[in-house]
């Protein structure tokens, strides 16, 4: 068996490489689009491949609830089910289960979280947490579809991910948000470490051939907890390492927290940063040595009418729903090769958004995923030729470097 990860070029702390999976190679640094519900929303699988992506992220929790792992196993696994021939990474379900402490899976744990939840807790919108209890064995929660009590723990998460047949499985973890005290963060982290050991054991016995397992670093915003968690995950026998949990209240704190985790990491395994996708965050994180990323933002922004653009002053976002675009005959970006930019105007997209047309969500999704792919490709190329630092500065300055 070849090594999981070939680092093919280095430039400072940044690395370019190839993750070898059972469904092909993933070129890194890479952004991984979300196929939360077995589809990148509004696109079919072949279109995502045509955009240049090697891997998508499936959601263990959502697919556990609907349509259920048994059906997907019967249909030949998630690749067959959704018609995707590339690699799939599946999150463990932990993030979604615990985000229900916020009251719904839609109110996701944010860096700037306002969590008051936990079992019996109250969510930011005043609803009772959907988590029934957090036990050593796992988590009891109520399903968002029918309110029925369900259970998920490390073995179930691994079993579901085996049914999905993902190329990269993530260990089951508790994802603690920002406003949690150090004491809870520490005991949660230690339980997550015990859950990691159970995931590794289960995976060793039962995993489908070729499936890789990543452990998740927790420890909140506490430097020595992050250091302990990183060390624990690194020695646990996993093939890759993901950085999860609360990364703090600000971009500065996030970079600090990611830095603590990275300082302790071995060089060889691929490194995934969970849930981060802003342009500046990606540039900094690639520069620090992160290899892959997933994030809902590019596709979610698209569905709400915002296109990604080379404009740091506007957080790289162009809100096409704004009236200023009403009669604009400009494309989003004259140099972008996506159909939204090649064939359509800001004025038309503005109108489609206002008219509630699916075509708007789809065209802007195509644009934003084209933008992200070009961003990552540009960073990969810069690492190979040894110009990453300068390239990153130009991206951060808003230059449309590709």
List residues binding a copy of itself (CB under 8 A): 37-46, 66-67, 71, 74-76, 81-83, 326-327, 329, 339-340, 343-345, 347-348, 351-352, 354-355, 357-359, 361-363
Please state, in angstroms and rounded to a whole number, the distance separating the CA atoms of residues 317 and 321.
12
- Decide whether 3 or 68 has the Cβ nearer to a copy of itself: 68
* Shortest distance, position 393 Cβ to a copy of itself, whole Å: 35
* Shortest distance, position 41 Cβ to a copy of itself, whole Å: 6
For the chain, state the CA radius of gyration.
20
- Decide whether 282 or 332 has the Cβ nearer to a copy of itself: 332
- Decide whether 158 or 363 has the Cβ nearer to a copy of itself: 363
Token representation of residue 135: 């036990």
* Shortest distance, position 55 Cβ to a copy of itself, whole Å: 18
Task: For the chain, give the secondary structure using H, E and C.
Answer: CCCCEEEEEEECCEEEEEEEECCEEEEECEEECEECCCCCCCCCHHHHHHCCCCEEEEEHHHHHHCCCHHHHHHCCCHHHHHCCCCEEEEECCHHHHHHHHHCCCCCCCCCCCCCCCCCCCECCCCCECCEEEECCCCEEEECCCCCCEEEECHHHHHHHHHHHCCCEEECCCCCCCCCCCHHHHHHHHHHHHHHHHHHHHHHHHHCCCCCEEEEEECCCCCHHHHHHHHHHHHCCCCCEEEECCCCCCCHHHHHHHHHHHHHCCCCCCCEEECCCCCHHHHHHHHHHCCCEEECCHHHHHHHCCEEECCCHHHCCEEECCCHHHCCCCCCCCCCCCCHHHHHCCHHHHHHHHHCCCHHHHHHHHHHHHHHHHHHHHHHHHHHHHCCHHHHHHHHHCCCCCC
* Shortest distance, position 203 Cβ to a copy of itself, whole Å: 27
* Shortest distance, position 322 Cβ to a copy of itself, whole Å: 15
Sheet architecture: strand order including 5-11? 5-11, 14-21, 24-28
Q: Residue written as tokens 């090594």?
A: 3
- Decide whether 81 or 214 has the Cβ nearer to a copy of itself: 81
* Shortest distance, position 10 Cβ to a copy of itself, whole Å: 38
- Decide whether 12 or 83 has the Cβ nearer to a copy of itself: 83
| CB neighbour list of residue 205: distance below 8 Å, 6 or more residues apart | none
- Decide whether 41 or 179 has the Cβ nearer to a copy of itself: 41
Catalytic, out of 11, 278, 291, 294: 294
Catalytic, out of 91, 173, 278, 333: 91
- Decide whether 51 or 384 has the Cβ nearer to a copy of itself: 51
- Decide whether 14 or 360 has the Cβ nearer to a copy of itself: 360
* Shortest distance, position 98 Cβ to a copy of itself, whole Å: 22
Token representation of residue 179: 């406003």
* Catalytic status, residue 281: no
* Catalytic status, residue 197: no
Contact 55, 86 (CB under 8 A): yes
* Shortest distance, position 63 Cβ to a copy of itself, whole Å: 10
Q: Which sequence positions are flagged as catalytic? A: 91, 294
């Amino acid at each position: 068996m070849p090594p999981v990860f070939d680092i093919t070029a280095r430039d400072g702390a940044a690395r370019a490489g190839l993750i070898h999976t059972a469904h092909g190679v993933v070129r890194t640094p890479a952004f991984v689009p979300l196929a939360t519900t077995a589809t990148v929303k509004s696109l079919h699988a072949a279109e995502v491949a045509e955009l240049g992506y090697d891997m998508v992220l499936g959601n263990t929790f959502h697919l556990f609830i609907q349509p259920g792992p048994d059906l997907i196993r019967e249909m030949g696994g998630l690749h067959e089910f959704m018609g995707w021939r590339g690699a799939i990474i599946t999150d463990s379900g932990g993030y979604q289960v615990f985000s229900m402490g916020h009251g719904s899976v839609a109110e996701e744990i944010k860096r700037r979280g306002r969590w008051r939840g936990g079992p019996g807790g109250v969510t930011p919108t005043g609803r009772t947490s959907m988590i029934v209890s957090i036990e050593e064995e796992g988590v009891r929660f109520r399903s968002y579809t029918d309110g029925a009590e369900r259970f998920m723990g490390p073995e179930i998460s691994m079993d579901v991910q085996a049914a999905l047949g993902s190329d990269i499985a993530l260990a089951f973890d508790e994802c603690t948000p920002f406003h949690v005290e150090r004491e809870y963060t520490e005991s949660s982290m230690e339980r997550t470490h015990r859950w990691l050991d159970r995931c590794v054991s289960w995976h060793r016995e039962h995993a489908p051939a070729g499936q890789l397992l990543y452990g998740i670093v927790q420890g909140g915003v506490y430097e020595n907890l992050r250091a302990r968690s990183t060390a624990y995950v690194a020695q646990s026998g996993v093939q890759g390492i993901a950085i999860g949990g609360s990364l703090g209240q600000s971009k500065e704190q996030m970079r600090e927290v990611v830095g603590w985790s990275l300082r302790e990491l071995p060089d060889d395994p691929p490194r995934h940063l969970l849930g981060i996708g802003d342009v500046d965050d990606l540039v900094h994180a690639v520069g620090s040595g992160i290899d892959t990323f997933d994030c809902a933002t590019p596709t979610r922004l698209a569905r709400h009418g915002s296109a990604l653009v080379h404009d740091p002053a506007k957080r790289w976002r162009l809100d096409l729903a704004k009236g200023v675009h009403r009669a604009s005959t400009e494309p989003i970006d004259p140099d972008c090769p996506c159909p939204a930019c090649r064939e359509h105007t800001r004025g038309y997209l503005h109108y489609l958004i206002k008219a509630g047309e699916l075509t708007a969500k789809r065209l802007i999704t195509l644009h934003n995923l084209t933008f992200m792919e070009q961003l990552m490709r540009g960073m990969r190329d810069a690492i190979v030729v040894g110009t990453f630092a300068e390239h990153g500065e130009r991206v951060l300055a808003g230059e449309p470097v590709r």
